[in-house]
Amino acid sequence: MSPKFKFSYELCGFIAFCIIFIVVANVGEFLLETAKTAGQWLIEKAEDLAEWLSYVVITIINSLVSLIAAMLLAFFRPFIIFFSWLFNGIFEFFKLLELYWKTDQQEFKSFWAFRRYMRGEEDPKPNDQQNQKQNQQQQNNQQAPPKKDKPKNTYHEALTLLGFPVDSSFTKTDLKKRYRELISRVHPDKGCPTSTLAQQINDAVTTIKQRRNWT
């Protein structure tokens, strides 16, 4: 083979090698981009699937929790109502007992009579000693000339109701402090069944202010 043909053959081989190399490189780059794009697509789909599965799981868990809570509430509802009634009854009992010891106990036969009166079930019934006093007072009224009716809430009665001795000296600040202390116990908003004692305390404070010219 002549040197001229030998050179041409080698040149063609080199050119063919370069062409094949370029083609293989481009195909490899294309395959690499395709694999990268496919990987990204798979990752996005996997994330979407995971998000959807988490949403389904959370929905199922919330539904189960709501169902269990509803079943428990339906089961324990009678117990809740009973203990609520029991707690309110105990609270009312001790509240009325505290008020009973702070009032004139001679007006009622017992604590239960006071309790029935405060709940509005019946009027207070005086005991036998008070019946005797009333009968004696009626006899005296029949013998003595008629007198003018005394006001319901006199100054001395007002002092006694608020817990001040008749001959005690107290200031307007003391009166206000005692009023707040008593009204916080007997006001209907604080759990007292009736507003009778609260009205009596208000009348007593008004009487004392008028007597002492306090505005």
Q: What is the mean pLDDT of residues 172-178?
A: 87
Task: Please tell me whether residue 205 adopts helix, strand or coil conformation.
Answer: helix
- Considering 60, 81, 102, which residue would you say is the last residue of a domain? 81
Judge if 1 and 77 occupy the same domain.
yes
| Residue 160 falls inside a structural domain | yes
Q: Which residue type occupies 215?
A: T
CA distance 135 to 205: 31
Last residue of a domain, one of 54, 81, 108: 81
Give the CATH number for residue 158.
Answer: 1.10.287.110
Confidence of residue 193 (pLDDT cuts 50, 70, 90): low
Task: Please check whether residue 126 lies inside any domain of the structure.
Answer: no
Is 75 within a domain? yes
Return the sign of the alpha-carbon dihedral for residues 139, 140, 144, 147.
Answer: negative
Q: Is residue 116 within 8 Å of residue 107, measured between CB atoms?
A: no
Structural domain of 187: 148-215
Confidence of residue 151 (pLDDT cuts 50, 70, 90): very low
Closest to 200 in 3D by CA, of 151, 168, 161: 161
Q: Quote the pLDDT of residue 56.
A: 92
64 domain-assigned: yes
Sole residue written with tokens 């496919």: 38
Q: Is 132 a domain residue? A: no
For the chain, how many structural domains are there in total? 2
Domain end point (choices 62, 81, 100): 81
pLDDT tens digits, residue range 113-136? 777 777 766 554 444 455 555 666
pTM score above 0.75? no
